[in-house]
Amino acid sequence: MKVLALTEEWPLLMELLDSRLFDAQLQLELAGKEDFRYEQGRVAELRVLLGLEQSAEAVIEAERNPRRTPSFE
């Protein structure tokens, strides 16, 4: 995973989210009938948060390297 280092806290946040996702996946595997949906939601939420890193990287990269639009004459 490429780490976007906007601040020095960013890698720590990504490490925390990765750790929480790992823990949530373990809890999902161990979940009983009543807790399964709850644990499934936790995993989904954490995946979305981790996916935001990729979105942020794409936006920043697009701003750094703007595409040239063709001019119409």
The pLDDT score that the predictor gives to residue 60 is 75
Is pTM beyond 0.85 here?
A: no
- Tens digit of each residue's pLDDT, the chain (73 residues): 454 556 677 778 778 888 888 888 898 888 888 888 888 888 888 888 888 777 777 777 777 777 766 666 5
Instruction: Pull the structure tokens for residue 13.
Output: 């946040």
| DSSP code of residue 13 | H
The pLDDT score that the predictor gives to residue 65 is 78
Q: What is the helix (H) or strand (E) element at residue 60, kind and residue range?
A: helix 36-64
